Amino acid sequence: MALPASAVRAFEPPPQPERGAPACTTCPRWHSRVEAELAASRPGSVAASVCAGPPRGVSHGFNSGPLLEKTRKAPSSLAGAACAPLFALLSRGRRRRMHVLRRRWDLGSLCRALLTRGLAALGHSLKHVLGAIFSKIFGPLASVGNMDEKSNKLLLALVMLFLFAVIVLQYVCPGTECQLLRLHAFSSPVPDPYRSEDESSARFVPRYNFTRSDLLRKVDFDIKGDDLIVFLHIQKTGGTTFGRHLVRNIQLEQPCECRVGQKKCTCHRPGKRETWLFSRFSTGWSCGLHADWTELTSCVPSVVDGKRDSRLRPSRWRIFQILDAARNFYYITILRDPVSRYLSEWRHVQRGATWKASLHVCDGRPPTSEELPSCYTGDDWSGCPLKEFMDCPYNLANNRQVRMLSDLTLVGCYNLSVMPEKQRNKVLLESAKSNLKHMAFFGLTEFQRKTQYLFEKTFNMNFILPFTQYNTTRASSVEISEEIQKRIEGLNFLDMELYSYAKDLFLQRYQFMRQKDHQEARRKRQEQRRFLKGRLLQTHFLSQGQGQSQNLNQNQSQNPNPNANQNLTQNLTQNLTQNLVQNLTQSSSQKENRESPKHNPGKEQNDSTSNGANDYIGSVEKWR
């Protein structure tokens, strides 16, 4: 049978190239097709150098020496004769892929060899180092037999086990969300963030006696209705930071829309085009720059109603005027230590602040120049020294917090001739205390985390990020003598008394709310225990009833007498009823024992929260 022409050509010896022509090399380690075509057949040419073998350090793989020697020694064999022609029959792309595979095989074998030798060297050196350390530490103890080598092997095994456990933990829990793998047992307990911001709060002793209604501030704020939060912003009390928290850091169904480069944000109610927040960063200075209590209480209702009436038809004005009586305005503010606030305002005025745009409207009119003179003659008071700032008798920085929180209509606004100065100061201070106590919420700049906690508990609105307590401010960088500090305290004596009152009320509210949270958590744990105990009793009774019913069935099968069956059923029902009655009587007696102190004569019946409040107020009286 005649062979095909391709097969015949395959078994023929390869043709010898002409002198000077490029040789068709059969070297399996081609680096490129162009290099193979340009290889010369003379000894010492590129082809000869390529076919000489792999470089030093590379495993042979396909280029093993015995294979090449076998090919050279037996050129007349079938494999040697068919190698080059069969390889030449392949397409150019196929041959290129084969060369790439051979090259990768050589590089992979080189990497594996280097990795194996490197790991072996690393393990050997690690073994020697650990052995040396172990022999230094535990050398005196390893005195029996071959104890040193055994201990070295044990230590090496423990180290390798620890490394393996660390790798497994990284694969199982790569992020920080796995709370169980943080090894709390080896770390110190996390301090209370509310106590850590001020160490003196742990030694707080109340000075004022407040009622339960003064301490419990729980506002049913309806953001979808007509309720409105009004922020009274006093200068240099940290109100700017708190105002940004209100518009950018609260979890809401419809968050405020804040655009880049704009201070004001749009804070609409869900599904409405009405605002739920009246502040600098939501509505702007609609009632004047840094409006006080007197201005806001007379301005906010008219401003809100004016914005609403501008969008309504005249036929609906009367309806909304009637509904405005049910509108709730919740006033909030932030206070600060009077000395720090005074120094901060002085530094702000030194930089050119004037607050000329403040209206100071009281009783429907602004003050005259005789009632409220200016402390400077130029455009601003920039660069003024502290002594000049304190010497001005008309400086509104003196007792600013009392003035902005009190009702100025009670003292004739800014007319100082209405009543004596001593009586005027007393009325202003009492008015500021009353307004502050009846506000929905107030915070202190020196207690940022507690301020956040009380706001969240009061309005049932949570912040996204926690507040940050800054202990270094511009006021803290001002170094003053003790004499100047006493003079500043004398100029702000009303603010000093108001701040002492506010701090006492603030910390008592905080402690009261924390105690209430602890009582609520304890009550939930008790309810869970009662529920689990009831389920356990229920399963016990069911298993007992099933066992007695099985005994009854067995007795029925053994005793066909109907009278005996009736006696057994009666006994079963009696046993079950007796068990139920005993359990009920025990639970009722326990409940009576718990409620017995509530039914004593001379005492009122209060709920759990009122008992907690009475306990807290009683403890306050003991502290006093």
Residues 39 and 24: their CA atoms lie apart, in Å, by: 8
CATH of the domain at 426: 3.40.50
Please compute the mean of the pLDDT values over residues 235-263 and round it to a whole number.
Answer: 94
pLDDT grade for 199, boundaries at 50, 70 and 90: very low
Domain count, the chain: 1
Q: What integer pLDDT is reported at residue 81 of this predicted model?
A: 43
Q: What is the pLDDT of residues 27-45, one digit of tens each?
A: 444 444 445 554 544 444 4
**146 in helix, strand or coil?**
coil
Please compute the mean of the pLDDT values over residues 421-429 and round it to a whole number.
Answer: 96
H-only helix segments in 351-413: 386-391, 400-405
Q: What is the pLDDT of residues 433-475, one digit of tens each?
A: 999 999 999 999 999 999 999 999 999 999 999 999 887 777 7
- Asked, for residue 208, whether it belongs to a domain, the answer is yes
Of 228 and 52, the structure prediction assigns the larger pLDDT to 228
Phi-psi region of 598 (alpha: psi -120 to 50; beta: other; left: phi over 0): alpha
503 φ/ψ angles, rounded to the nearest 5 degrees: -65, -40
Q: What is the pLDDT of residues 295-354, one digit of tens each?
A: 999 999 999 887 655 444 444 434 344 444 457 999 999 999 999 999 999 999 999 999
Proportion of the chain above pLDDT 90, given as a percent: 44
Residue in the block written with tokens 């979890």? 251
Residues 341 and 355: their CA atoms lie apart, in Å, by: 16
- Asked, for residue 376, whether it belongs to a domain, the answer is yes
Q: What integer pLDDT is reported at residue 197 of this predicted model?
A: 56
The DSSP H or E segment spanning 427 is helix 421-438
Taking the alpha carbons of 318, 322, 324, 327 in that order, is the dihedral positive or negative? negative
Q: Is the pLDDT assigned to residue 529 strictly greater than 50?
A: yes
Instruction: Find, among 462, 548, 457, 541, the residue nearest to 506 by Cα.
Output: 457
Residue 99 annotated as catalytic? no
Q: What integer pLDDT is reported at residue 375 of this predicted model?
A: 93
Residues 316 and 24: their CA atoms lie apart, in Å, by: 101
Please compute the mean of the pLDDT values over residues 480-484 and round it to a whole number.
Answer: 94
- Asked, for residue 158, whether it belongs to a domain, the answer is no
Q: What is the pLDDT of residues 347-401, one digit of tens each?
A: 999 999 999 899 999 999 999 999 999 999 889 999 999 999 999 999 999 999 9
Please compute the mean of the pLDDT values over residues 186-190 and round it to a whole number.
Answer: 45
E strand spans, 283-356: 329-335
Tokens matching residue 25: 């090399």
Q: Is the pLDDT assigned to residue 161 strictly greater than 50?
A: yes
Q: What integer pLDDT is reported at residue 55 of this predicted model?
A: 47
Q: 115, exposed or middle or buried, with CB in 10 Å at 0-12, 13-18, 19+?
A: exposed
Q: What integer pLDDT is reported at residue 194 of this predicted model?
A: 57
- Asked, for residue 145, whether it belongs to a domain, the answer is no
Tell me the CA distances in angstroms from 370 to 272, 415, 417, one per residue in order: 46, 9, 12
Which residues constitute the domain of residue 345? 198-306+325-521
190 DSSP 8-state letter: P
Q: What integer pLDDT is reported at residue 82 of this predicted model?
A: 43
**Side-chain-side CA neighbours of residue 474 (13 Å):** 14
Of 425 and 125, the structure prediction assigns the larger pLDDT to 425
Residues 609 and 28: their CA atoms lie apart, in Å, by: 90
Taking the alpha carbons of 367, 368, 369, 373 in that order, is the dihedral positive or negative? negative
pLDDT grade for 209, boundaries at 50, 70 and 90: very high
Amino acid at 130: L
- Asked, for residue 217, whether it belongs to a domain, the answer is yes
Residues 366 and 362: their CA atoms lie apart, in Å, by: 6
Residues 23 and 16: their CA atoms lie apart, in Å, by: 8
Tokens matching residue 484: 């100047």
Please compute the mean of the pLDDT values over residues 404-420 and round it to a whole number.
Answer: 95
E strand spans, 244-304: 257-258, 265-266, 277-278
- Of the listed ranges 225-229, 484-488, 579-583, 588-592, the one predicted with least confidence: 588-592
Which one is catalytic: 233, 245, 290, 360? 290
412 φ/ψ angles, rounded to the nearest 5 degrees: 80, 30
**255 in helix, strand or coil?**
coil
Instruction: Find, among 293, 572, 269, the residue nearest to 413 by Cα.
Output: 293
Residues 560 and 77: their CA atoms lie apart, in Å, by: 102
**277 in helix, strand or coil?**
strand
Cβ atoms of residues 36 and 88 within 8 Å: no
Residue in the block written with tokens 């455009």? 379
Q: What integer pLDDT is reported at residue 266 of this predicted model?
A: 95
Of 568 and 126, the structure prediction assigns the larger pLDDT to 126
- Asked, for residue 247, whether it belongs to a domain, the answer is yes
398 φ/ψ angles, rounded to the nearest 5 degrees: -75, 125
Q: Which residues contact 118 (CB under 8 A, 6 or more apart)?
A: none
pLDDT grade for 60, boundaries at 50, 70 and 90: very low
- Asked, for residue 559, whether it belongs to a domain, the answer is no
476 DSSP 8-state letter: T
Instruction: Find, among 495, 517, 621, the residue nearest to 205 by Cα.
Output: 621
- Asked, for residue 358, whether it belongs to a domain, the answer is yes
Residues 211 and 508: their CA atoms lie apart, in Å, by: 11
Q: What integer pLDDT is reported at residue 603 of this predicted model?
A: 42
Q: What integer pLDDT is reported at residue 149 of this predicted model?
A: 63
Residue 402 has a CB neighbour count (10 Å cut-off) of 24
